[in-house]
Every structure is written in C-alpha cells, then in structure tokens.
Structure 1
C-alpha cells in the first residue's frame, strides 16, 4: 500500500509541475503579445495587402511600384525595401523564396553594368520593359545597402545552393559598395557613386545603418566594415548632441579623419528640406533602434532615446521638422510615425507605445508607396521582437 501511494504522489506531482510549466509558457507568450501588441497573423495580413498594392512584374522578375501612374516606375531604394520585406516575411513564416528570387532577378537585370553590380537608381516603363536612361544609371547608396543586407539574410535563410547564389551576389555587391559608395577618407557611405566634388563628403544620415555594417563585417570577414560601423556610430552620436531634440538633417557634410560635420544647403541634394528632419531622416529612429534591437548598442540606444523623448512631448507627429523641433508641415505621415512607433516598442517607451501602438497595423495605403513601405518594414522588424 505504501509503494502504491508513493507512486500516486509522484505522478500527481509531475502533473502539477507540467501544468505549472505550461501555464508559465502561456503567460510568457501572452505577456510578449501584450508587450508587442501585434500578432503574427496581423503582420501576415498586412504583408499580403502590401504585396497586392505594390509588387508588380511577372513570373520571372518583380519590382516595387513607386508611382501612381498607369506606366510603372521604380527605384533601387524600393527594390531594396521589397527584398528586405520579403526575406523578413520568410523568416517569420509567410514570405516565399520564389518572390525573393523574382525581386533578385529584377535587381540583376538592372545593375549599372556587367562590371558594376550597384543598381541603377531608377527605371520607368517603356512599352513592356522597364528601362533606365543614361542619367539614371548611377546609384543610390541606401538602395544598395538594403539589397546587400537582404541577400545576406537570404543566404542565412535558404543557403546558396539553389538557382541563385545569394552568397556570391552579396559579396560582389558589397565589394562594389565599398569600392564606389564608401568615402575612402571618412569610411562613411556617400549618397551614391556619382557623389564627387562638392558632394563627395555628403552623407545621408539614414544611411548610417550600424546594424548592417556589423553584419557586413562579420559576413565578409573584412575589418573595413567595422571601421564604417564605428564611424557611423561616432557620427550619429555627434549629430545627436548638436540639438536638444536629437533630430538630424536629411543630409550633412562629414569630412576629414576627425569627422568634422557641417550643414548642407537647401536643395543641395534632393529638396528644400535637405537640412531638416525630412523624408530621409525620418527613417533614423527605425534604423538606429534596429541596431539596438539586434546588437544592444548603448550608443544606438542613447541616440534613439533622445529622439523618442522629443516626440513623446508632442501631441502628434507631423511630417518634417526643423532640427530645433519646429514642425514644418501640419499633416501626419506613416513614414514619420511608424519608425517612432517601432523604436518605442524596442526601447519600451510606454508613452509613445500607448499613443502610437496602432500606427504599425493601420490600413496599408494603396497609392502612397513610401509611407506604406516604411510601415511594412517597421512592422516586420517589430515582429522579430517576439
């Protein structure tokens, strides 16, 4: 009788322990979902909608449509975004290798030349073909950085033994990026392979993507990328300290071994807002928070924390600010809101999380490529927090 009761006690104890462990697991899962507030099903639904609106092409190659006209247009920036979105969606269980390969094929068909694997920065539809003019066969560094990063992610996800050798393509592109788009004196990214003379030292601040440069260094075993990462961190830290808001301009001039920083002039590169927190710099909270999410960089944390504190003091986030924090426009735009919403999730800024938790899952715009795509990118990055 004693032995029988002993085993009953042991079995009962095991049942209690298993039940307790299951309860803990369920609680942790629910706790994470309460923290992130976004289910994988919702992210997948948003991804399907984004694909429907913006992914165009055929069975062989696809591109991201950037305009609303009947004749298609795209940019290397968009192609990079589309490739990152697709492989990140695959990492979360709902993106396909077939779609990624179609996007990769488009990139391959629109490289600047057979000797230059950087992507031509723009293509327009001419009949049934997408073509670049001679002037458009120059590069935009932000697009090339995203394409290279997506190829690395693809290699890690699927390997390189299929129809496309992601590993070789990534190494070739990274070699051309460093050769043609990295400033040899500052080790920082230039705005494109065309940037010479007075624009040689111009930096697009949202290209200071420390997370990418860390990965590039690890993937290639090339220490030059570590120098680019270190100088990017140093530049971000310096820019963060220049204004109480922590905001940075779309473009700055960085020169010399000491990384001396100067302002650009309005319309020097892209628009009258070149020296303001505009449609390029709005990506900084996302790019910098992504580095903290993956690598726990304290510099990245301090930079994005300061920006988030500025926006936490605002009733709403509008498009374009002076570096002192004066809004230049009155309308809201997901390209500005979504990166802040994502960074708030990464850093746990409860004020911003409560205020903007629905931004990432708001209905995807059907005819506004840039904010819709930034929203999709930051939503997927949020999904990786789980």
Structure 2
C-alpha cells in the first residue's frame, strides 16, 4: 500500500505550545457586558431547552438529548455561575448517558424508544465538552471531584478515541465506526469535533492528555482539507488517501457541523487570521438573509441558515479578525431551535472570554 503523505505543517505549528486557559468569565456587574449577555441568554436558553431533571433537549430532533447538548448546557451554566443547573444537568448525564464500561458517554438518549439508549457508541466532541465543563466547574466552585472526573474522561478519550496516522494524531468522532477497518473510506474525521479551547485547557491540566499533537492535527486539517472554489472544509473528511478529501457516503458540503470550526478556533486564539479569514470571506459573499450550506465542488449555496444564531458565529469571526461587529445582532438573543440557539449563546461566551472589547468598540 502506498504510504500516506503527511500534511505539510508550517514551522509555527510545529512549534505549537499550549496557550493560556480560557478565562473563567462570570457575571461581572457591567465591566464585561458580553459576560452579562451570556448569563442572561443562558436563563432564556435554560427555560426553553433544559427540563427540570437536567435534560437538555434537541427540539428539532424529536426532543432527544445527546452528550453534545448536555456538555453545552454544562458549559453555559458555568459561565452563568448557575451551580444548581450545572449539578442537575451533570446528574442527569451521569445517570442516563454514562452507560458504557469506561468514562465516556453514550451519545444519544431518546425518550420515545425503549431502552432510551440503544447505541452505546460515544460522540467524542460531547465527551470533550463534558470534560471541559467539569474542569471549569472544578476551578469556579473548588470541586476537586469534578477535576478528577474531567481527567478520567480525558484519559478515556486518549486511550479509545484518538488514532495515530500519517497525518498525525487524530481525534476520532467515536470509538467505533470511523477507523480504516470500519469504513472503506476510513479513517474518517469531523473537524468540528476539534473543540480547540477544550483540548488546550485539558492539556494544561494533564500532561498525559495529547493536546499538542491534537491541536497540531486540527490546525493542519484546517489548512489542507479545503476544497472547491470556496476552499472550505467538508463536514466529514476521509484520510484514506495521500491527500485528505471529502468522505464518501457523506454530503460533500460545508454544512451544519463545519460552521462550528471557526467558532472553536476563534475561542482558542486569534493568532490564525489566515484560517479564520477563509470563513469570513465566504460569509461576506452570502446574502443578508443568512449564512449558507455550501456544496464544495461548485461553491453553490444549497440552503440558507437564516437564524440569528448562525449569524452570531460570523460576527465572532469578524470580531476575532479585528473588525467591528453588529452589536445589536449578536446581543439580542431569542431562543428558537436548539442548534442555532446553542451557537448564539456560545458566541456570546467566546466574546466574553476572548474578545470583550468587541461590544464596546475599543481594542
């Protein structure tokens, strides 16, 4: 078999060091308006999407819950300093999704099925989000047990959901189903599973967690796995050949998953403007009614993402690039559907923790 060609990694990436941890923004009495906005948005979000027992529902997917939604809810509760909600969400997660024989969570819970968890495979981004939320909670509330749990999850991710390849150490979407012997086009990865700030902070906490190689591989994929006239990454990427390519059996598109990629990168650092500019350039071409899913071969916009939550991501990218944002657009949060509403609250969190002056106009 012909050896896979490694991705070209610039010298700066080869020398990549872990950055500073993401700041633990809290309601601040006015000195950080974005933190106050994020906390207020959480209250509206919690009212619509979080049940009394701590289950975060995806209303566009039949009111299911998944490890991703639980992790997002836990993160939002931390920034709002809402300890009661955090503990409720974590308690439900632990009781209902921690059904495997390791520290990882089963990815999906469906109240309309019996048993509610039929597929015990994990979703690695959900595990990262849960671990990161526990780590942040441990620092905010002085809970050593939360830190211990976060590190247990990180250890399980390292052991079961990473893969050494000719492209570097990769983060697999799940323990099962994505490796070379699982699919003809495998290994298959999803760049939106690289939650860059979570990887960074877990690496700062545990020397055993492979944060540096995972950050390197994620940044390399952002440089190399870009296709078509728009030079955007697909949701799903095959690493089966000498060059990364859109994975077979999945739509060859920059879609709902990949929109999170620049959000996570901007949350981690503003030191990669050449990568963030790729997304900003595409979004500036999009009509005013919203962002769009882009078919990669021709750069055709196949469906528009009109919800304010998607537009909030674009505003964060503009802010990270040093350009003014539409303050009214990102500040006015009204819950709609689970995914765009989640992106909107996360966008406020990114501004609060990385770019607080974007809302005040000073730099």
TM-score bracket for the superposition, by shorter chain length: 0.7 to 0.9
Which whole-Å CA distance do the structure 2 matches of 1:359 and 1:182 have between them? Answer: 38
Q: TM-score, normalised by structure 1?
A: 0.75
Cα–Cα, structure 1 residues 114 and 371, in superposed 2: closer, same or farther, change >3 Å?
closer
Give the alignment partner of residue 183 of structure 1, picking from 163, 166, 169: 163
Give 2:117's aligned residue: 133
Q: 1:66-88 deviations in whole A, cap 9, x for unaligned?
A: 1269x852111111111111112
Q: How far is the alpha carbon of 1:245 from its aligned partner?
A: 2.9
Number of residues of Structure 1 aligned to a counterpart in Structure 2: 319
Q: How far is the alpha carbon of 1:172 from its aligned partner?
A: 0.7
3-state SS in 2 of match to 1:116? coil
Which whole-Å CA distance do the structure 2 matches of 1:143 and 1:120 have between them? Answer: 9
Cα–Cα, structure 1 residues 255 and 330, in superposed 2: closer, same or farther, change >3 Å?
closer
Which whole-Å CA distance do the structure 1 matches of 2:77 and 2:35 have between them? Answer: 15
Which whole-Å CA distance do the structure 1 matches of 2:55 and 2:188 have between them? Answer: 28
Cα–Cα, structure 1 residues 44 and 112, in superposed 2: closer, same or farther, change >3 Å?
closer
Give 1:365's aligned residue: 335
Does the alignment pair 1:285 with 2:230? no
Give the alignment partner of residue 349 of structure 1, picking from 323, 336, 344: 323
Structure number having the greater helix percentage: 1
- Find the structure with the greater CA-based Rg: 1
What is the Cα-based RMSD across aligned positions, in Å? 2.7
**Contact in 2 for aligned 1:182/1:189 (Cα 8 Å):** yes
Which whole-Å CA distance do the structure 2 matches of 1:255 and 1:88 have between them? Answer: 40
Which whole-Å CA distance do the structure 2 matches of 1:341 and 1:180 have between them? Answer: 36
Give 2:26's aligned residue: none
**Contact in 2 for aligned 1:208/1:236 (Cα 8 Å):** no
Q: 1:237-292 deviations in whole A, cap 9, x for unaligned?
A: 2125x455342111111258x7x312113xx35xxxx3201110111221111121
Cα–Cα, structure 1 residues 379 and 116, in superposed 2: closer, same or farther, change >3 Å?
same
Give 2:150's aligned residue: 170
Does the alignment pair 1:79 with 2:70? yes
Does the alignment pair 1:57 with 2:52? yes
Cα–Cα, structure 1 residues 218 and 64, in superposed 2: closer, same or farther, change >3 Å?
same
Does the alignment pair 1:218 with 2:204? yes
Q: TM-score, normalised by structure 2?
A: 0.79
Does the alignment pair 1:313 with 2:295? no
- RCO higher in 1 or 2 (8 Å CA, sep ≥ 6)? 2
Q: Unpaired runs of 5+ in structure 2? A: 1-28, 357-363
